[in-house]
């Protein structure tokens, strides 16, 4: 598995700490290659990470900004990306297991202990397998591809 990670200027320190943490746990983690600047724009990081997750087999993404909202909104504009903004372990679990999230967005102010717990949960959680969750995810994919119209 490959984990892509990116942060805007508000999440740089958390990103650095997470990279060390993930590498220490033998997880293949890659930065997306956009350098940070004092006032960089989160959509650039979210869009590039989304493309890389889509292009890479067995990949997930981690995005970090001030509160995770902006990154989540931007990432969800990338076709094929389902990004959950997580502020709790439950958000991370349900985002992946119930909603098929392949990217997680977190805020930089959660604290490292909680951040690590959220990221561990997201990475280790199995993808959706119950029919009701799979059916919902498939509706999202079909809608995104212009193959489904809501009732």
Inside any domain, residue 74: yes
pTM summary value: 0.95
CATH number, domain of 52, equals 3.40.1400.10
What pLDDT, in 10s, does the model give residues 70-128?
A: 999 999 999 999 999 999 999 999 999 999 999 999 999 999 999 999 999 999 999 88
Inside any domain, residue 22: yes
**Residue pair 75/103 in contact by the 8 Å Cβ criterion:** yes
Residue 130, domain extent: 2-144
Inside any domain, residue 149: no
What pLDDT, in 10s, does the model give residues 134-145?
A: 999 999 999 999
Inside any domain, residue 150: no
Inside any domain, residue 36: yes
From the candidates 9, 48, 51, 98, give the one annotated as an active-site residue.
98
From the candidates 7, 22, 29, 65, give the one annotated as an active-site residue.
65
Q: Is 98 a catalytic residue?
A: yes
User: CB count, 10 Å around CB of 143?
Assistant: 12
Strands 83-85 and 59-65: unpaired
Structural domain total, the chain: 1
Inside any domain, residue 151: no
Inside any domain, residue 49: yes
Q: Is 65 a catalytic residue?
A: yes
User: CB count, 10 Å around CB of 25?
Assistant: 11
Inside any domain, residue 39: yes
Q: CA–CA distance from 137 to each of 27, 73, 75, 92, 106 (Å)?
A: 27, 18, 17, 16, 22
What φ, ψ does residue 141 adopt, rounded to 5°?
A: -60, -45
pLDDT of residue 128: 85
What φ, ψ does residue 82 adopt, rounded to 5°?
A: -125, 105
């Amino acid at each position: 598995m490959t984990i892509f990670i990116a942060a805007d200027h508000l999440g740089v320190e958390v990103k650095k700490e997470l990279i060390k943490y993930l590498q220490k746990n033998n997880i293949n983690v890659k930065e997306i290659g956009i350098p940070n600047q004092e006032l960089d724009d989160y959509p650039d990081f979210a869009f590039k990470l989304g493309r890389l997750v889509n292009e890479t087999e067995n990949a997930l993404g981690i995005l970090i900004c001030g509160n995770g909202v902006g990154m989540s909104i931007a990432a969800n504009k990338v076709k094929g990306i389902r990004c959950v903004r997580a502020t709790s372990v439950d958000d991370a679990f349900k985002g992946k297991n119930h909603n098929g999230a392949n990217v997680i967005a977190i805020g930089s102010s959660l604290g490292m202990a909680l951040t690590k717990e959220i990221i561990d949960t997201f990475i280790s959680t199995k993808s959706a397998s119950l029919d009701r969750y799979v059916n919902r995810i498939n509706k999202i994919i079909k809608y995104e591809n212009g193959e489904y119209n809501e009732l």
